[in-house]
């Protein structure tokens, strides 16, 4: 038997977005009820809205855009770690985890930060030495249930720079509540948007039970 976990946040009007980012908006161009042959809508949003992937272009003008990243990074085995800590963690906290065979690492902070949902309020993040530790593991992807991998007060986005500069894709704002820690198959494909520094994703975990 296979169990699926949808770990994506729902894109909807009124959802939390990072301050300064566009609000999510769905508008209708044509409606059947108005006599059109089909319903056709359009979406306005920032690419970092909800559950999303960051590409190197996010923090580096010379970095690759989301359309140029290898899709194999976003499909495959992943391990979900539960972090029982408030605020940031570093290399010391990460070193005690079981890293055998890990290609993609997902992190669920407990308690869940009140800033979850793209708000810049307090949430779990990685100190620079923690980001360097993860980059040194040769991971293909790091994901978090929090709004970002950097501290809310970070101006330079150093954890982003360390991870993306080390070839590690960043998956942010996952909906991990109620998902047990352990090993899964992850699918989190971004839209192929030429020139974009990120993309929303539909992230799913699969596990045989």
Which CATH number covers residue 109?
A: 3.50.30.50
Q: Quote the pLDDT of residue 182.
A: 98
Asked if 81 and 89 count as a contact pair (C-beta separation under 8 A), the reply is no
Q: Quote the pLDDT of residue 152.
A: 86
Sign of the C-alpha dihedral computed for residues 183, 189, 194 and 196 taken in this order = negative
- Please tell me the total count of domains within the chain: 1
Domain that holds residue 8: 2-208
Res. 129: pLDDT tops 60: yes
Res. 122: pLDDT tops 80: no
Catalytic residue among 48, 58, 127, 160: 58
User: What is the tens place of the pLDDT at every residue in 4-47?
Assistant: 999 999 999 999 998 899 999 999 999 999 999 999 999 999 99
Average pLDDT over every residue of 171-199: 98
Cα 186 to Cα 67, 113, 172: the distances in Å are: 19, 23, 14
pLDDT, greater one: 119 or 165: 165
Res. 89: pLDDT tops 80: yes
pLDDT, greater one: 117 or 187: 187
Instruction: Return the axis-axis angle of helices 128-136 and 158-165, rounded to nearest 10°.
Output: 10
Report the residue count for the chain: 209
48 given a catalytic annotation: no
Distance separating alpha carbons of residues 40 and 6, to the nearest angstrom: 26
Asked if 180 and 5 count as a contact pair (C-beta separation under 8 A), the reply is no
User: What is the tens place of the pLDDT at every residue in 146-163?
Assistant: 999 999 888 899 999 999
Cα–Cα nearest to 30, from 22, 45, 16, 42: 42
Res. 121: pLDDT tops 80: no
Q: Quote the pLDDT of residue 110.
A: 85
């Amino acid at each position: 038997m296979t169990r699926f976990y949808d770990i994506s946040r729902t894109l909807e009007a009124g959802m939390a977005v990072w301050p300064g980012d566009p609000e999510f908006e769905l508008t209708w161009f044509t409606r059947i009820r108005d006599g059109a042959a089909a319903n056709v809508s359009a979406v306005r949003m920032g690419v970092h809205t909800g559950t999303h992937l960051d590409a190197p272009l996010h923090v580096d003008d010379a970095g690759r855009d989301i359309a140029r990243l290898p899709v194999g990074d976003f499909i495959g085995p992943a391990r979900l770690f539960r972090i029982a800590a408030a605020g940031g963690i570093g290399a010391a906290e990460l070193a005690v985890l079981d890293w055998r065979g890990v290609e993609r690492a997902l992190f669920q902070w407990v308690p869940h930060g009140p800033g979850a949902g793209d708000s810049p309020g307090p949430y779990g993040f990685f100190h620079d030495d923690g980001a360097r530790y993860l980059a040194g593991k040769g991971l293909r992807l790091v994901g978090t249930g929090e709004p970002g991998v950097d501290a809310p007060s970070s101006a330079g986005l150093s954890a982003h720079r360390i991870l993306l500069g080390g070839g590690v894709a960043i998956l942010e704002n996952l909906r991990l509540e109620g998902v047990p820690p352990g090993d899964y198959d992850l699918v989190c494909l971004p839209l192929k948007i030429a020139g974009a520094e990120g993309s929303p994703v539909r992230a799913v975990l699969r596990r045989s039970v």
